């Protein structure tokens, strides 16, 4: 059995590693490339490549994790340098002609392969082809040049956004509706006005609660004109470059290039999915919009971009009267964690046992994940509270991937949740807001994907699935946070643990979940369709014109005059181009899978075992749609999702 992960790195050992791991991989690749064509077989070519790359990834995974979580600034810096070097090297790795030639020589031998091995060959070759290998040299070099140019443009777009320092000057009267602690942290001008920045902690509360419609209009105008015109030009240039790359590689559009390695397969399938969902959501969205317009009153029967958040928030407060500050008293962190382990331990047939394992910080909690028979299935770590230099959000980090080793044993996977929940203060324990509870369950969904993997090959292990499937397990587990029987088990007032979250509040939390789901999902559909329209266009794209046309039609709320929100739509310049639909796609599949638990009972261990075996364990070893169909007994559908948001 493989040992628990080792975190005993020093800045010096990490620096030395950045040289040694690349050198070691280079030697393995040299050996692989030197095998004569007539002697190539699965073991000395495809498996040799897979083992070399997976071993390389494993060697750097923990040192790179330490860049985000170590309390040693030198170790974090060494980890960051390592991550940059490995990222750059990985780009070169999949443009190597000698390795591609070796893999093609092996493929040409036509050796009979099992289903998973055939998929391994197909996906490995695809990684090289998507970088231009297989094309004649001039075309290949052109693709490489365009890809490098594209990376530069995307980085400049993001840098421009990071450096925005615009702020709106408002009077004290224009802050009416906002809490005192919001006002207290705003900077002031010499003239005594307050400065509201473009950062989320300023922008969102202001748009939600400021009573001054004119101040909200001015802030929205400034917010949606960040980095104009520079970022409009960069985005339109990027769209044109992507179109050229796709054309050289033989795809009709850039979206089709991206989707060739996703569940959705091509742009036609994505458009069909989005249009079907839109048709079902329009009715609910229009009904919600009418309720908000009624609250707005007056002659103007259009909900403006600077108004919808405000009236939505007003309706939420008046209809559901949920006080999240009060509710968090029922969610002490320790009670929630204990309840969560019990709930998912029951569902998945495991136990989470605290273990005296080595960690990267004294506050980190370590667990052995044990099967019913007592054998260790995986390792899990909790790093829950903020500290200097630590990653600032909540995320699941893979610590080690599961895979079959050369001696036939299985490398036990390990995963961590790195979060920044409020720490205990004085006599008060750490308390979670309900949103924090949902976040915890979401990240734990990613953990289940990592720790329950039994994939044979590292390439298919855990969360190494299609981008449009990776959020399925995380969206799945969010549903347990809304199940009354689970809320009773994970809650208990911090002053009296026996006092569970009152039934009335449970009902309000569940009811409030869908009070604006029509408008929220129409907005998500709008962004998804906008992304697809940008990346399937045949000629030059006027990004503002397309944005304007689609926003009113799909989201029911028009674009504000003389604004250009695409200039700050970072998703399309940072990994989600032709992929924004993935959020909705994953959620639809997750809700269909959750339907099986609803039918059998959310705590049903038989359904949990089946889900673990058919969805989590294989990773990407099989076609994801096929795995879902095996679990459900039919292909995935959209009915469960529509029903879950009251849009069926």
Q: Say whether pLDDT at 365 is over 90.
A: yes
Whether 394 maps to a domain, the answer reads yes
Of residues 539, 427, 440, 528, the one with CA closest to residue 481: 440
Encode pLDDT of 165-195 as tens digits: 899 999 999 999 998 878 988 999 999 999 9
Q: What pLDDT was estimated at residue 158?
A: 87
Whether 151 maps to a domain, the answer reads no
Q: What pLDDT was estimated at residue 364?
A: 98
Q: Say whether pLDDT at 86 is over 90.
A: no
User: Are 336 and 419 in the same domain?
Assistant: yes
CATH number at 464 reads 3.40.390.10
Q: What is the mean pLDDT of the chain?
A: 94
Encode pLDDT of 253-275 as tens digits: 999 999 999 999 999 999 999 99
User: Are 350 and 495 in the same domain?
Assistant: yes
Which among 512, 544, 560 is the end of a domain? 512
Whether 283 maps to a domain, the answer reads yes
Q: What pLDDT was estimated at residue 423?
A: 85
What is the Cα–Cα distance from 109 to 299, expressed in whole angstroms?
Answer: 75
Encode pLDDT of 601-615 as tens digits: 999 999 999 999 999
Q: Say whether pLDDT at 367 is over 70.
A: yes
User: Are 452 and 378 in the same domain?
Assistant: yes
Whether 6 maps to a domain, the answer reads no
Burial of 492 (0-12, 13-18, 19+ CB in 10 A): buried
Query: Across-strand partners of 501?
Result: none
Q: Say whether pLDDT at 387 is over 70.
A: yes
Structure tokens at 645: 């948001």
Burial of 66 (0-12, 13-18, 19+ CB in 10 A): buried
User: Are 304 and 398 in the same domain?
Assistant: no
Burial of 525 (0-12, 13-18, 19+ CB in 10 A): buried
What is the Cα–Cα distance from 41 to 28, expressed in whole angstroms?
Answer: 16
Q: Say whether pLDDT at 428 is over 80.
A: yes
For residue 528, name the pLDDT band (cuts at 50, 70, 90).
very high
CATH number at 68 reads 1.20.1050.40
User: Are 371 and 310 in the same domain?
Assistant: no
Query: Once rounded to an integer, what is the mean pLDDT over residues 387-403?
Result: 91
Question: Domain tally for the chain?
Answer: 4
User: Are 313 and 347 in the same domain?
Assistant: no
Q: Say whether pLDDT at 325 is over 80.
A: no
Cα dist from 113 to 28, 39, 108, 234, 403, whole Å: 23, 17, 13, 46, 19
Collapsing DSSP states into helix, strand and coil, what is residue 152? helix
Cis peptide leading into 229, omega within 30 of 0? yes
Position of tokens 């750059």? 88
Q: What pLDDT was estimated at residue 204?
A: 86
User: Are 562 and 433 in the same domain?
Assistant: no
Q: How many residues would you count in the chain? A: 648
Whether 156 maps to a domain, the answer reads no
User: Are 507 and 536 in the same domain?
Assistant: no
Q: What pLDDT was estimated at residue 391?
A: 86
Whether 243 maps to a domain, the answer reads no
User: Are 528 and 411 in the same domain?
Assistant: no
Q: What pLDDT was estimated at residue 287?
A: 96
Sign, CA dihedral 331-333-339-345, equals positive
Whether 249 maps to a domain, the answer reads no
Which among 489, 512, 535 is the end of a domain? 512
Whether 358 maps to a domain, the answer reads yes
Encode pLDDT of 530-578 as tens digits: 999 999 999 999 999 999 999 999 999 999 999 999 999 998 997 889 9
User: 3-state DSSP: the chain helix, strand, coil percent, rounded to 5?
Assistant: 60, 10, 35
Q: What pLDDT was estimated at residue 1?
A: 57
User: Are 544 and 622 in the same domain?
Assistant: yes
What angle (nearest 5°) sits at the alpha carbon of residue 96, between those of residues 90 and 97?
A: 165
Q: Say whether pLDDT at 278 is over 80.
A: yes
Return the active site residues: 443
User: Are 317 and 339 in the same domain?
Assistant: no
User: Are 275 and 301 in the same domain?
Assistant: yes
User: 218-234 burial, b for 16+ CB within 10 Å, e for fewer?
Assistant: bbbbbbbbbbbeebbeb
Position of tokens 């080690």? 400
CATH number at 643 reads 1.10.1370.10
Give me the domain span that covers residue 101: 11-134
């Amino acid at each position: 059995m493989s040992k628990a992960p080792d975190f005993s790195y020093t800045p010096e050992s990490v620096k030395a590693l950045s040289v040694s791991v690349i050198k070691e991989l280079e030697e393995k690749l040299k050996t692989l490339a030197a095998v004569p064509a007539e002697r190539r077989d699965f073991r000395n070519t495809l498996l040799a490549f897979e083992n070399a790359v997976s071993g390389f990834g494993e060697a750097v995974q923990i040192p790179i994790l330490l860049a985000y979580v170590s309390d040693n600034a030198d170790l974090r810096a060494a980890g960051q340098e390592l991550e940059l070097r490995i990222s750059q090297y990985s780009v070169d790795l999949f443009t190597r002609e000698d390795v591609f030639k070796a893999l093609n020589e092996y493929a040409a031998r036509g050796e009979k392969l099992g289903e998973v091995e055939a998929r391994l060959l197909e996906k490995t070759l695809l990684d090289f082809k998507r970088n231009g290998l297989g094309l004649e040299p001039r075309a290949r070099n052109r693709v490489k040049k365009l890809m490098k140019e594209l990376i530069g443009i995307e980085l400049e777009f993001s840098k421009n956004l990071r450096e925005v320092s615009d702020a709106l000057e408002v009077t004290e009267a224009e802050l009416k509706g906002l809490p005192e602690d919001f006002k207290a942290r705003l900077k002031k001008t010499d003239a005594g006005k307050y400065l509201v920045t473009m950062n989320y902690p300023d922008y969102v509360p202001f748009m939600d609660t400021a009573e001054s419609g004119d101040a909200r209009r001015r802030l929205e105008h400034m917010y949606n004109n960040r980095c104009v015109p520079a970022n409009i030009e960069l985005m339109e240039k990027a769209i044109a470059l992507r179109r050229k790359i796709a054309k050289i590689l033989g795809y009709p559009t850039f979206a089709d290039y991206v989707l060739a390695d996703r569940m959705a397969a091509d742009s036609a399938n994505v458009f069909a999915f989005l249009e079907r969902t839109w048709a079902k959501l329009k009715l609910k969205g229009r009904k919600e919009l009418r309720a908000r317009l009624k609250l707005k009153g007056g002659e103007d029967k259009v909900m403006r971009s600077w108004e919808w958040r405000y009236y939505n928030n007003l309706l939420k407060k008046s209809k559901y009267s949920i006080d999240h500050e009060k509710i968090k008293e029922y969610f002490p962190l320790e009670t929630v964690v204990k309840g969560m382990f019990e709930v998912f331990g029951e569902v998945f047939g495991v136990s989470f046992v605290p273990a005296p394992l080595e960690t990267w910080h004294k506050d980190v909690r370590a667990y052995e994940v044990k099967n019913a028979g007592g054998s260790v299935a995986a390792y899990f770590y909790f790093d829950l509270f903020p500290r200097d230099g630590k990653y600032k959000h909540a995320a699941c980090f893979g610590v080690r991937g599961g895979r079959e080793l050369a001696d036939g044993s299985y490398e036990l996977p390990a995963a961590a949740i790195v979060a920044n929940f409020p720490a205990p203060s004085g006599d008060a324990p750490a308390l979670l807001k309900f949103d924090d509870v949902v976040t915890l369950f979401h990240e734990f969904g990613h953990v289940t994907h990592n720790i329950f993997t039994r994939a044979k090959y590292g390439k298919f292990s855990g969360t190494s699935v299609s981008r449009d499937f990776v959020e399925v397990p995380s969206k799945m587990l969010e549903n347990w946070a809304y199940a009354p029987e689970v809320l009773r088990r994970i809650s208990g007032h911090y002053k009296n643990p026996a006092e569970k979250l009152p039934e009335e509040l449970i009902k309000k939390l569940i009811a409030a979940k869908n009070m604006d789901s029509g408008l929220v999902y129409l907005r998500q559909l709008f962004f998804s369709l906008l992304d697809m329209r940008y990346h399937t266009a045949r000629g030059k794209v006027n990004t503002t014109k397309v944005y304007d046309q689609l926003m009113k039609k799909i989201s029911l709320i028009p674009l504000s005059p003389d604004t250009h929100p695409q200039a700050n739509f970072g998703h399309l310049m940072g990994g989600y181009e032709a992929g924004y639909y993935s959020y909705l796609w994953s959620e639809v599949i997750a809700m269909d899978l959750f339907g099986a638990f609803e039918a059998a009972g959310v705590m049903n261990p038989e359904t949990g075992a089946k889900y673990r075996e058919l969805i989590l364990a294989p990773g990407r070893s099989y076609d994801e749609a096929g795995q879902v169909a095996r679990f459900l007994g039919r292909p995935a559908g959209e009915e469960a999702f529509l029903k879950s948001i009251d849009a069926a």
